[in-house]
Amino acid sequence: MSTTLTCAFAQWRPGLGDNTPMGWVTVLVYLLAALAAGDLARQLTGPDQLVRRERRFWIVVTGLMLALALNKQLDLQSLLTMIARCHAQLSGWYDKRRLVQEGFIVGVALGGLVALGGLTFLLRGILGRVWVALAGLCFVCVFVVVRAASFHHVDVLLGVAVGGIRLNWLFELPGPILVGLIALRRRVSQGG
């Protein structure tokens, strides 16, 4: 494992992952979503089990949005991709990486479905209040996983610009925007 990490860190350097105006806008969107979710979580109080459940949901959402804002500029998924690439090269199966990438995507998709089923169960009683935010989280998670799988043709597609707007932005931004808007709407409906 230390050889794999040595290989990965020789090729990856910490730094700003997307030091462009739109990269920073994306970080800001994640941070605003985290702020809205955290503010709502702080506002939701009381002994009611459903309120406590919803409060925990928004606390987790706050943490996820903060982690994604941090990841946007630290580019940690590139480090994970580099670790996997070095492991594949050192283990001798790099030429068969497409099968592993496809298996990874299928495994994550199945894991995501199981997680979504579990979340549906855990969020029973409040799902009607949070399902759009949950959809936003799913959107972001799918985007991050597909980027982490690092299929070359996906990376090329995400770099395509239509009318000056990169597809990357169209796939990444709706998730945190939904999360933030639902948190704000929920806060207003709470009377805050």
Amino acid at 166: R
Judge whether residue 9 has pLDDT over 80. no
Indicate the pLDDT class of residue 106, thresholds 50, 70 and 90: confident
Residue pLDDT, tens place only, 13-66: 766 667 788 889 999 999 999 999 999 999 998 889 999 999 999 999 999 999
Q: CB neighbours (10 Å) of residue 186?
A: 21
Over the stretch 73-84, which tens digit does the pLDDT of each residue have?
Answer: 887 777 777 788
**The two structure tokens encoding residue 168:** 């990357």
Checking if the pLDDT of 100 tops 60, the result is yes
Q: Is the separation of the CB atoms in 123 and 134 below 8 Å?
A: yes
Tokens matching residue 28: 């800001």
Strand partners of residue 162: 165
Is residue 165's pLDDT more than 90? no
| 161 sits in which H/E element | strand 161-162
Query: How are beta strands 165-166 and 161-162 bridged, if at all?
Result: antiparallel
Is pLDDT above 70 for 91?
yes
Instruction: Express each pLDDT in 113-146 by its tens digit.
Output: 898 888 888 888 999 899 999 999 988 887 777 7
Q: Is this prediction's pTM over 0.85?
A: no
User: What is the pLDDT, as a whole number, of residue 158?
Assistant: 64
Report domain extents, the chain.
Answer: 17-189
pLDDT of residue 59: 96
For the segment 146-167, the average pLDDT, to the nearest whole number, is 66
Which token pair is 54?
């919803």
- Residue 192 host element (H or E): none
Is 136:176 a contact under the CB 8 Å cutoff? Answer: yes
| Reported confidence tier of residue 192, pLDDT bands at 50, 70, 90 | low
